[in-house]
Amino acid sequence: MARKGVRPARPAAGHDVERTLDELYATPPSDFVSRRERLAAEAKRDGRADDARRIHGARRPTLAAWAANLLLRSQPQESGRFLELGRALREAYRTLDADGIKELSEQRRSIVSALSRQAAQLAREAGHGLSDAARQDVESTLRAVLADEDAARRWAAGRLEGALTPPADFPSPDATTAVPAHRVARPAPAPPETRPRAKDELAERRRRRQQQLGVARRSAEAADHRLHELSAGRDDAAASLRRARDRHDRAREHESEAQERLREARQELRRAEQEQQEAEERLRTAAGAVDRAERAARDAAQEVARLTEPIT
């Protein structure tokens, strides 16, 4: 069953425009327009005019929005937990008092900071580092996802075009005395005969509030623990990548040295082959001269023998 709030994977199709748009919004902003036009042209060439119009109408995301989309697609499980945490927090904020709001807000700030660092790392690994302003926009988007159900749905779709802004009435970590807006106006005191019932209702609301606080705390702790694990795994992967790059660089150096030695050996081989050819040519010339000298010597010996025969 698909995780609530996160769009399930779509079935494979020959021409799935939704998947095409998903992949397009995973494209870095610098390459977005060229790829969009290429994909739209391909759809139009294939006779898919409606798909071509949808693709052509896609707007290039900002760098921060792309990083937020990248975080969602690269870490689907952690993103699902983050969305669940947002639902728990929004429910808890409806009934929590100021102390509870402050505690959850501090946990929220820690998780948002960790996730924004992870988004920045993913963007950097993809070759596009985030400026301080872009990182702030990523954090703003993540805070909005926790605070606002519509923002959560938009992020879960994976096609943000710009940064999201959290609602102004959502408590911040500095709201030490703030309470939800709907709790500011207090009702008039109840008549004496209704106070026991109101007291029971108040006790029930407090009980539900404590349950919701427990759920929100556990969700926050689980998300924070998972982020620490992912950060450690990311650091290990980065160290492994550095070691692999070092080995690769050394191998390239050895390869260059071996290629240089190979070039020198081939040059030496060509010189040796040239010298061999020259020596063979000299040998053939000398052998020819020896053959001619041997024939001349035989002819001379025969002439001497003829001349020394007695005359009869």
Report pLDDT digits (tens) over 202-211.
Answer: 667 667 766 6
Question: Is the CB of residue 156 less than 8 Å from the CB of residue 7?
Answer: yes
Contacts of 167 (CB under 8 A, 6+ apart): 144, 147, 148
Q: Which residue has the higher pLDDT, 195 or 110?
A: 110
- Confidence grade of residue 95 (pLDDT, cut at 50, 70, 90): low
Tell me the pTM.
0.53
Structure tokens at 67: 């990083």
Please check the confidence at residue 129 and state whether its pLDDT lies above 70: yes
Summarize the confidence of residues 245-264 as an average pLDDT.
83
For residue 190, the model assigns a pLDDT of: 47
Reported as a single tens digit per residue, the pLDDT across 145-155 is: 998 999 999 99
Please check the confidence at residue 178 and state whether its pLDDT lies above 80: no
| DSSP 8-class letter at 3 | P
Closest listed residue to residue 71, CA positions, set 168, 137, 1: 137
Please check the confidence at residue 9 and state whether its pLDDT lies above 50: no
- Confidence grade of residue 75 (pLDDT, cut at 50, 70, 90): confident
Residue environment code for 188-209, b if the CB has 16+ CB neighbours within 10 A, otherwise e: eeeeeeeeeeeeeeeeeeeeeb
Please check the confidence at residue 57 and state whether its pLDDT lies above 80: yes
What is the number of other CB atoms lying within 10 angstroms of the CB of residue 257? 10
What whole-number distance in Å separates Cα of residue 170 and Cα of residue 152?
A: 14
Summarize the confidence of residues 172-188 as an average pLDDT.
40
Cβ-based burial of 187 (10 A; exposed 0-12, middle 13-18, buried ≥19): exposed
Q: Range with the lowest mean pLDDT among 24-28, 59-63, 234-238? A: 234-238
DSSP string, 174-237: T-SS---GGGTSPPPPPPGGGHHHHHHHHHHHHHHHHHHHHHHHHHHHHHHHHHHHHHHHHHHH
Please check the confidence at residue 213 and state whether its pLDDT lies above 50: yes
